[in-house]
A and B are shown apart, each in its own frame.
Chain A
């Protein structure tokens, strides 16, 4: 339900004026914007440098040559053409606890980032990952570049339900199999899988020269362990495994400790690998999160 806010004008108005920063410079090749130090094909002057053999004489600054008698090449900033992929975990764990609406929060943040990415007409798509019998299934939208096309994402968001198990590494492998040029991949998940799985997934993305941004989504309830006290039978939403526990204040503290440790582990991994990382642990404070934590992802205000 929370994801419906992503299409409300009030929400979008807060995102207007934000830019999604790219950590490395861009170069243009064959009309495409790619990461690298290559002469751009844009019209915005960027710099001057000495002429070297092989440079395109069309960019020689003849006025400077006449005054200074030096051959100077004028360079231009290339057009921005960075593909952004918002990779949203839609596994079953994102559906519980239901009142936390983790999937809604993930979609809201993902759509917000997509909207920001569209500010400079970068192609953006949203890809949801769901576990399936035969393996992970990617539910991907088309690439959209303009804010006017933003609303085309609504059908995908409206029909998306949490389900299946989380196979981040396999899903990333499948995503990379599309052989898209390196771009920005925003991974939004609770990462409640084996650490090796999400670490493998993120490592693959980095290895494919994508700029990876990580949004760690958790619910308030599971972070605090604030379940009604009493004896309960717990069932893992993804594996179906059950366990009988006695919930109460002590269990809540233990649960909070585990969740905090999990969040710290994800955060430390991202820090080690230079990944942009932010935490979103409360659906109620999503506006505050956007203002406070979006810059962590390289969003320029």
Chain B
């Protein structure tokens, strides 16, 4: 039920006028009579019935006015009616990594494709289908079309990625199919009922849960340790409800450094120590035999090269220098840290060592560039004015007395913002990417707190907030430390290799046309933007190669998602309230808005006729000939 023109309910004020008229009529009228003697036997009125007397004519009038008001307001009801016309339908496919899981009938995506084809084949001619896939984001694979060959081609072309399907992507997919009168959703993980309710799809939503439970092992983490010094560690998790055996093999730049069979308890994690590895390089862990999902059977990590990395820390604050040195050593124990009190200070620093002419990373706190030839610079709480390297200045426009950290890139927004101290206000140039966002506590305005980017002179990073007073070591502000570590990791990554998670946006500095070679050997040309960067998102786990002017950069993409890798329980989840086990038989029932104007008008006419009949009857009683 509802109203098409709710504003016309104002006509209901006529009811108030009717009540006023009724009360006026109820006010006892005076009749002049020839003699009161004729009325000696007439009963006296009952006082309380003066206002509350039920007058049938009044209620009929009130009902007529109320009904007319509803007619004017466009009262309608929703009625279910069979659909006899061609339908607009949508097929939504989960393309997350878990859809690549293999069971006895093939992959889950293949099962979904089979079901979709059956739906398409069984649909009456004229029904239009739209094919939408989602994982990292929603994507329309096939616009609304009724030709079955096109639909089957679009369904066959679906390919699952090695990223976890995001709820936001599902929400976007449902939104893109909002005009459809029936939506078929194919997924192995039933979506949360709240999400389906929030989507408020117009048509009927049928969730097809595909796949059966399968056993799966996944490499959770791979820590290379320190070459020649510290052991590395590899975590392998068994998602099955029974013990599983596998063989873990770890290679370093293609050379095997570890190989061992493992037996892992049900739903348990095995921590395997190996090494220390003899040198730095690309570490690759792989488990065999093949299990339910292949994407999480490999994991890559970068082991620091044996070469000593030099870092320069410049800060007028002695405590800050000390804190930053600790953070640097925590990121990479191989760092050789040099500290200075000021940029112009060329004398030996407090540690008594002689300053090195070249550094791999320069961290400048509350000071400008030293002019060092470091390939990476990190500016922390830069002074007002122009900062950054000479070719790519970063304008610092002011200072906020207190800011709070609200979000970091790649991480969900913080539930509780972290209160920081003073921070510089700066504008992120187009060649930089924001790593963290915050807000001015006084003004409430949003401002960037950390960013990194690449120039022709190397990598540049900015951390806007001040790290004095041991801010980075404050356990209540752990997110500030994590942000600093992430930033330093980005800046200290050696050129030529990078390890990322599937789905991450990878930005690589290059100033020439680049070719991206995916793990499946497909080649994609990439064009650098105005700042000399190329960007891409690795959607498959494995090695990506960027080739530009004979310069080769390797990007290793790891996939692991706890929910996506847990293939033993995903299909055993309780059904959602809106889930349907089978498609409804035709004809489909759809909800129609039926205005009740005619019916209500008929009611009004009946009321008026009844009123007339009552008036005539009363007139006859009163001896009136004409009414």
Contact = CB atoms under 8 A, between A and B. Distances in A.
Interface in A168-220: 190, 192, 219-220
Nearest to A258: B38
Interface in B31-76: 31-46, 49-50
A258 B31 contact: no
Contact of B43 (A102, A250, A262): A250
Contact of B30 (A225, A233, A255): A233
A299 interface: no
Given A227-B622, A244-B28, A245-B45, A255 B34 contact: no
Interface string A24-40: 00000000000000000
Interface in A221-235: 221-222, 224-235
A19 interface: no
Contacts of B50: 231
B39 A251 contact: yes
A258 B46 CA distance: 23
Contact of B42 (A221, A235, A251): A251
B41 A257 contact: yes
Contacts of B354: none
A103 B270 CA distance: 120
B623 A221 contact: yes
Contacts of B622: 226-228
Contacts of B618: 228-229
Contacts of A229: 618, 621
Contacts of B46: 246
A258 B41 contact: yes
A244 B31 contact: no
Contacts of B621: 226, 229, 249
B462 to A, nearest CB: 88
A244 B44 contact: yes
Given A228-B622, A231-B50, A233-B28, A96 B42 contact: no
A53 B377 CA distance: 174
Contact of B33 (A94, A97, A220, A226): A97
A192 B34 contact: yes
Interface in B582-603: none
A192 B622 CA distance: 23
Interface in B313-365: none
A234 B36 CA distance: 7
Interface residues of A, number: 43
Given A231-B28, A232-B28, A246-B44, A96 B39 contact: no
A255 B40 CA distance: 8
Given A224-B623, A228-B622, A231-B50, A236 B44 contact: no
Best-surrounded residue of B42, B44, B622 (most CB of chain A within 10 A):
B42
A52 interface: no
B41 A192 contact: no
Contacts of B32: 96, 234-237
Contacts of B41: 251, 254-255, 257-258
A237 B39 CA distance: 13
A236 B42 CA distance: 15
Interface string B592-627: 000000000000000000000000001001110000
B42 A245 contact: yes
A192 B31 contact: no
B29 interface: yes
Given A232-B29, A232-B30, A246 B35 contact: no
Contacts of A238: 34-35
A243 B38 CA distance: 12
Given A231-B45, A250-B43, A251-B42, A220 B37 contact: no
Given A236-B36, A237-B33, A246 B623 contact: no
11 contacts: A192-B34, A224-B623, A228-B618, A235-B33, A237-B34, A244-B45, A245-B42, A251-B42, A255-B38, A255-B41, A259-B38
Sort A-B residue pairs by CB-CB distance and give the 7 closest, nearest first.
Answer: A254-B41, A231-B45, A93-B34, A251-B42, A192-B35, A246-B45, A245-B42
Interface of B: 28-46, 49-50, 618, 621-623
Given A102-B34, A246-B42, A246-B46, 14 more contacts: A190-B34, A221-B623, A226-B623, A227-B31, A229-B618, A234-B36, A235-B32, A236-B36, A246-B45, A247-B42, A250-B43, A254-B42, A255-B38, A262-B37
